[in-house]
Structure 1
Amino acid sequence: MTEFNLYQFEDELYEKGITYIAGIDEAGRGPLAGPVVAAAVILKKGAKLNYVDDSKKLSEKQRQKALIEIKEHALAIGIGISSVDEIDRINIYRAAREAMHSAIKQLKIKPEFLLIDAMPMEIDIPNKSIIKGDQKSISIAAASIVAKTTRDQYMIEMDKVFPLYNFKQHKGYGTKEHIELIKRHGYTPIHRKTYEPIKSMIKEEIRKKHEAHTLF
């Protein structure tokens, strides 16, 4: 049982006559590989969910159960993705925010209010940014699970494309094993070039090319 009342923010908004509340969260700011994925979820008014909690607290099996429950109780779900190229081009913070904007646009119902995990957003919908929102709001917790399971599924697919890297296990995060595999096999197109150790590997490649070029 969670210490915080996960329904508090939503109940306060319902009391003010607001029906369509979207929780917004993202997954994948930290990994060395793969996109950042955001989700927006509007739950049915007064929905009570048994399996939903902050996605980081749940096992993979628990998240799958929670996902089924979210789909049963959601009025609308939107998903936004920022690619590795976008992350490297505009930085992870901005890429995460872009993915969130995209997720909101994907909702088939226009939300009247947004509850956002930690990220302040400039948007024409009334909103509240909540630090550790995935632990304090049922809508944000639902969004965190949708974002995490979507991203995990993508990384499982990438494991088939790049079988040497064990993406299905670490999902692109910088585990000791993952870093060793990058050093052994090099980086892939889905690795983030602005993240270490890939950033230093690219610098080294450029330096060697430059040296080789000056020899001739």
Structure 2
Amino acid sequence: MALSPVPSTTPDWAFEREHWRRGYFRVAGVDEAGRGAWAGPVTVAAVILPGLARDYPFRDSKQLSAAQREVLAAEVRAVAVSWAVEHAWPEEIDRLNILGATHAAALRALARLDPAPQALVTDYLKLRVDVPLSAPPKADALSYSVAAASLLAKTERDRVMAELDGQHPGYGFAGHKGYGAPAHRAALRELGVSEVHRRSFAPVRALLGAPAPLFGDAE
């Protein structure tokens, strides 16, 4: 099947080069998928690309079709110096809040990289780490390393949501991926809350009749 043209918005190496100039050559890109969903995990990927400043076809996963993402994610895995993907599941999200759980999953992914990164570029994730960190907004559209991470995070989370669709039929997880689509809201009203829903998120919490969590509205 022929793929559609890759979008023209092209990342570059500007953020990585700032670290390279300081002698930090193993720069990991970090991105997540699923922070705003009502169900399923938030998924974080970390990727170290070869520091050759070459052009890649990697783009922000939100700009691409599912077929394009799968092709490019396979290329990321093939060319990366190191990569890792980690999930934070609803229990951890409800316990830590969504931002805390995202940070925890990011740190787990980074700990699995071998060799370890010397610096990071993230999509506005201001992680507490002992290496230099750049965390610009929209980094998945600006940095090759973060775009590569976005591809791995999105494709892996979509795979997980397809599995959850089979385990919890009727919610439509394979289609809306756990986000707040009208069909998801209707399924929640009809079927109730499943074990993979985030109970701290307002629409789910409302169905449970539960009070707001101590850390505030997690949605």
Return the match for 1:128 from 121, 134, 138: 134
Superposition deviation, residue 15 in structure 1: 4.1
Is 1:155 aligned to 2:149, yes or no?
A: no
**Alignment check: 8 A CA contact 1:51 1:69 kept:** no
Does residue 178 (structure 1) correspond to residue 184 (structure 2)? The answer is yes
Structure 1: gaps spanning 5 or more residues: 205-216
* TM-score between the two structures when normalised by the length of structure 1: 0.89
More helix by share: 1
Structure 1, residues 89-138: CA drift from partner, whole Å, max 9, x if none?
11001111111111100111111111111011111111111111101100
- Write the letter of the residue equivalent to 1:80: E
Aligned to 1:72: 78
CA distance in structure 1 between the aligned counterparts of 2:8 and 2:129, rounded to whole angstroms: 31
Please say if 1:37 is aligned against 2:39: no
CA deviation after TM superposition for structure 1 residue 5, in Å: 4.5
Please say which structure displays the higher CA radius of gyration.
1
Q: 1:27 to 1:171 in 2, by over 3 A?
A: same
The percentage of aligned residue pairs carrying the same residue is 37
SS of 2:75 mapped into structure 1: helix
Give 3-state SS (helix, strand or coil) of 1:114's partner.
Answer: strand
**Cα 1:184–1:63, aligned 2, differ >3 Å: closer, same or farther?**
same
1:80: Cα distance to partner? Answer: 1.9
Consecutive aligned runs of 4 or more in structure 1 exceeding 6 Å deviation? none
Q: Partner amino acid for 1:26? A: E
Q: Counterpart of 1:142?
A: 148
Count of aligned pairs: 204
CA root-mean-square deviation: 1.6
Corresponding residue for 1:55? Answer: 61
**Post-superposition offset of 1:51:** 3.0
TM-score, normalised via structure 2 length: 0.88
Q: Distance in 1 between matches of 2:28 and 2:127?
A: 14
CA distance in 2, matches of 1:194, 1:115: 29
The answer on whether the counterparts of 1:28 and 1:35 sit within 8 Å (CA) in structure 2 is yes
Once the two structures are TM-superposed, the CA of residue 10 in structure 1 deviates from its matched residue by: 2.2
Unaligned runs of 5+ in 2: 1-6, 211-219
